[in-house]
Amino acid sequence: MKAVVWQGINRMVVEQVPDPQILQPTDAIVRVTATAICGSDLHLMDGYVPSMVHGDIVGHEFMGEVVEVGSEVRKFKVGDRVIVPFPISCGKCWYCQKGLTSLCDNSNPNAQIAEAMWGHSPAGIYGYSHITGGYAGGQAQFARTVFADANLYKVPEGLSDEQVLFLTDILPTGYMAAEHCDIQGGDTVAVFGCGPVGLFAIKSAFLLGAGRVIGIDRFPERLEMARRMGAETIDYGEEEVFERLKEMTGGNGPDSVIDAVGLESHGTGIGGLADAVKQTTRVLESDRPHAFRSAIMACRKGGTVSVPGVYGGLADKIPLGAFMNKGLTMKTGQTHVHRYLDILTDHIVRGDIDPTMIITHRLGLDDAPHAYKIFKHKHEGCIKCVLDPWADPKDHAPVR
């Protein structure tokens, strides 16, 4: 089959690899009908997530049709149309039973390594380095999914692939980020980063009762999209964000701030430069926490900083003084995707959210290297790429 494979820093290539097989009785094989590139895949491509090995199949946003099930799979059968949430839930451990599925105790075969790095191990994740299990990902024609009964989610009839694909990650991620803000009627929420997760966080903040949402980015097409979601916007290339946010909120700052950027944020000034230099070593500092620092500084006293952006290792110079003296609360986490699936599917069916509106590019899997490039550099107005693993290589045209 064809798959997108990481072959080193900045080298995502499409290769022929062996088809996946059932390895354990709770596995299911899915024929992938749609997959997407996530912002956090860029951290893999850029080599900031440790423990990637040349030849790893990437991709953690994918869906398709079940083509084979292991002997212990009860809830799914061949022919079912499913989405595959990115964190792997065993369904049995205490965390999974509490709905904290991205913290599953049992699904990461490399838990020992994760514990050395982070103290405790989170769940395994598809296509996302060996620290989170080394599972082959779904930017491929077929994928092996594990603990199928606990993980797969049957797509309701009448919904298209593109309407449900983002339920695997970025839609619940944006939603959980907004939920973490604990929005009280009419609150103002600022969202750093108007990429796919930021945009869904904006939409979700409104659904959860925010009065105002302010989106911060520097790419015109993303800011435009944020405005279409109902947000006011700040272009950080043009304006001083901290001052502008204070001004817009009567001097208070937003009630909560979402860092939807993560470890590769673009800093300015000396701090930003120091981060960039240290991060190139990939040892002295693995994360550039510029957006995170800004979020802490901007948030009103007693407010909440919500962090859906991915961080991997060590970050420098967090304004802990501001964090403590302002009495802030921080909420973070990989998304517990499974717990949001029913709620968000209902919203999609009712038309409250149209996840397809963020899609700017539809390409064949063969075009993945190009898709990664335009997504990373925000060329061609790229906000979100969806890949079709079965498209005829010649039969595509970038669609806006």
Partner 1 sequence: MPEQQLSPQNSSPNERLLAGGLGLGLILLSLRQSGPAGMAVAAGGALLLSGAAMGRGVGDAVVGIQRTPQDEIAVEKAMTIGVSPQELYTFWRNFENLPRFMNHLESVKVQEGGQRSHWVAKAPLGSEVAWDAEITEDVAGKRIAWKSLDGTPVPNEGRVEFREAPLGRGTEVQVVLTYRPPGGTLGAAVARMLGEEPGVQIAEDLRRLKRLLEVGHQPTTEGQASGRKNAFTKAEAKMYDNRRTS
Residues that bind partner 1 (CB under 8 A): 1, 3, 5, 7, 15, 17-21, 23-26, 51, 53-57, 72, 88, 90-94, 105-113, 116-117, 119, 124, 130, 133-136, 140, 144, 146-147, 283-284, 313-314, 318, 320
Contact range with Zn ion by CB under 5 A, out of 49-57, 85-93, 158-166, 349-357: 85-93
Q: At its nearest, how many Å lie between Zn ion and the CB of residue 252?
A: 32
Tell how many helices (H) and how many strands (E) occur in the chain: 14, 16
Residue ranges of E strands in the chain: 2-6, 12-16, 28-36, 56-57, 61-69, 81-84, 142-145, 153-154, 188-192, 212-217, 232-235, 256-259, 304-307, 329-332, 361-364, 385-388
- Token pair in block for residue 333: 């986490």
Can residue 199 be called a binding residue for Zn ion (CB under 5 A)?
no
Can residue 189 be called a binding residue for Zn ion (CB under 5 A)?
no
Q: At its nearest, how many Å lie between partner 1 and the CB of residue 288?
A: 17
Rank residues 96 and 226 by Cβ distance to Zn ion and give the closer one: 96
Size of the site for Zn ion (CB under 5 A): 8
Burial of 238 (0-12, 13-18, 19+ CB in 10 A): exposed
Can residue 96 be called a binding residue for Zn ion (CB under 5 A)?
yes
Phi, psi of 2 (to 5 degrees): -95, 145
Rank residues 228 and 390 by Cβ distance to partner 1 and give the closer one: 390
Question: Distance between CA atoms of 171 and 160, rounded to whole angstroms?
Answer: 15
- Of residues 40-69, which lie at the interface with Zn ion (CB under 5 A)? 40
373 and 395 in contact (C-beta within 8 Å)? no
Can residue 104 be called a binding residue for Zn ion (CB under 5 A)?
yes
Which of 28, 29, 84, 90 is in the footprint of Zn ion by CB under 5 A? 90
Q: Which of partner 1, Zn ion, none sits in contact with 38, Cβ below 5 to 8 A by type?
A: Zn ion
Can residue 146 be called a binding residue for Zn ion (CB under 5 A)?
no
Question: Half-sphere exposure of residue 247, counting CA atoms within 13 Å on the CB side?
Answer: 7
Question: Distance between CA atoms of 143 and 139, rounded to whole angstroms?
Answer: 8
Rank residues 139 and 163 by Cβ distance to partner 1 and give the closer one: 139
Q: At its nearest, how many Å lie between Zn ion and the CB of residue 120?
A: 13
Rank residues 78 and 284 by Cβ distance to partner 1 and give the closer one: 284
Measured CA distances, 179 to 203, 256, 340, 371 (Å): 12, 11, 11, 31
Rank residues 104 and 183 by Cβ distance to Zn ion and give the closer one: 104
Q: At its nearest, how many Å lie between Zn ion and the CB of residue 374?
A: 18
Nearest-10 Cα torsion for 324, 330, 333, 337: 170
Q: At its nearest, how many Å lie between Zn ion and the CB of residue 16?
A: 25
Element (H, E) at 371: helix 368-377
Can residue 37 be called a binding residue for Zn ion (CB under 5 A)?
no
DSSP character for 324? H
Q: Which of Zn ion, partner 1, none sits in contact with 169, Cβ below 5 to 8 A by type?
A: Zn ion
Q: Which of Zn ion, partner 1, none sits in contact with 274, Cβ below 5 to 8 A by type?
A: none
Q: Which residues lie near Zn ion (CB under 5 A)?
A: 38, 40, 90, 93, 96, 104, 106, 169
